[in-house]
Structure formats: structure tokens, C-alpha cells
Chain A
């Protein structure tokens, strides 16, 4: 049995779009962080993370996403989430992630907000 999160990434100009599929725990969080840091090193000015295929993000996974957010802020970049279940949205707000990262209902809204090329 493995619920390990799969992460895929695609560039739209200087915006990196992430899609996750599965449970985000420490392993899933580290996989996202590795890809995020790589995209930041390659000059991404915005990261959009679509979590619509993820139903559980545990507190360890969120703590890693917070580390990613801090790195994004250090680089003067932007992090946006979309496709969150109500429970994930609620947990992001409880832990304060939503104070510093934008949350949008859909990917198209997130991409528009960060100015991704069509």
C-alpha cells in the first residue's frame, strides 16, 4: 500500500504550476519542496499549487509547505494554492499558511491572479 503523493510540474513562462495527487505527509511535502526549490532556482517568480487530487495534508506536510512559503518570500516570489478541499482550506487557515499565501478556488483564477501567460 502506498499513498505517496505524486507531484508534477509545468512551466507557464515564469510561473510554475504544480499538481499533486495523493496524501501530503512528510514525504509528499519534501517532494513538493524539492520541486519548488528547483523552480525558484530556475527563476520562477510565482508558484501555483493545484491540490485538487489531494484529500489529506497532515500537519507535517503543512509545516514543510510553510518552509516552501518562507523560501518563496525570501526570493520575492509568490505562492498560490487552488483546488483545496474545505478541510485542507480550514487547516491552512488554522496553521496560518493562508495569511501569507493566496488561496483561489480554481487553477484558472490562480493563474490569472499571478499573471501567468495564457
Chain B
């Protein structure tokens, strides 16, 4: 669900155990972030295929921030939370302090546009929504926050 307006002040699951990571906007830094997702997914016994889906969604969220945020601090902040009574889900919050975008104004991609109109880019958010179970996108002049959750 895309949201607009002021920055969210509370994470969705403030009480859950969490790991935080800040990566610079630089080539392949998204892979550094996926190593953390890999470790947490294995820790909570998430099936390998689901871990791979989480990792790709995280890659897409990071490169979306790298390409579009134009952050002044040149950083992307990532928080991982394992939640549920027995580690039933992994939540990842990806934040940047860039210029934001109109998440609801983005025209959805399609294979037809990709092949017939040669509009190949713009798939990142669609892939994230396809691979994760819950996704919230909030963006404004304070930056962008993508909050996504995968159940085990």
C-alpha cells in the first residue's frame, strides 16, 4: 500500500528484535545487505526459496534508493526485524533521506510495455510487491521508507 505525507514515526513492530545496517550508495553494496537477510533467514529456519525472494526484494529496494533517491548523506538505512512468537516472519525496513517520489503515480510495468514499447525499467517496486507478503511504501520530501515482510 503506497502512502504519502509526513515520515512515519513508529515502525510497525517496535518490540521485535532487530538488526540495523547502513550502507553507502555504491555499486554492489546491496549485496552486503543481502548477507544479513541470508543470515537471519537461516537463523529463523526460513525455507531457502523464501530467503532468495527476500534477498531479491531487498536488492530491488536498495537499488531503487541508489538510483532515485539522490540522498544528501549518500546512505541507505536498513533495519531487519524477526517477529512472531517463534520467529514467524522477517520484516525489512529500507529508508533513505532522498527526495522521495509519488509511489501511487507510478505507472505499473507490464511485459507488453517492456517488449513492445521498449520500456524496460521501473520493475523494482512491482517485483518487491510480488515477492513479499506485506509491503508498505511511504515517500515524501523527507525521503522514502519501504517496509516489507515475509512469513516463513
Q: How far is the CA of A1 from the CA of B26 in the complex (A)?
A: 12
Question: In chain B between 113 and 128, which residues have their CB closer than 8 angstroms to a CB of chain A?
Answer: 114-115, 120-121, 123-124, 126-127
User: B56 contacts which chain A residues (CB < 8 A)?
Assistant: 56-58, 87, 91
Interface size (A, Cβ < 8 Å)?
A: 28
- The distance in angstroms between the C-alpha atoms of A85 and B56, with both chains bound, is 12
> Which residues of chain B are near A3, meaning CB under 8 Å?
28, 31
Interface residues of B in 1-48 (CB under 8 A from A): 27-28, 30-32, 34
C-alpha spacing A4/B124, complex, angstroms: 20
Given contacts A87-B131, A91-B127, contact A60 B121 (CB under 8 A): yes
The distance from the CB of A57 to the nearest CB of chain B, in whole angstroms, is 8
Asked if residues A56 and B52 are in contact (CB atoms below 8 Å), the reply is: yes
- Chain B interface residues (CB < 8 Å from chain A): 27-28, 30-32, 34, 49, 52-53, 55-56, 59-60, 63, 109-112, 114-115, 120-121, 123-124, 126-127, 130-131
Interface residues of chain A, those whose CB is within 8 Å of chain B, are 1-4, 23, 25, 27, 55-60, 62-63, 66-67, 70, 85-87, 90-91, 94-96, 99-100
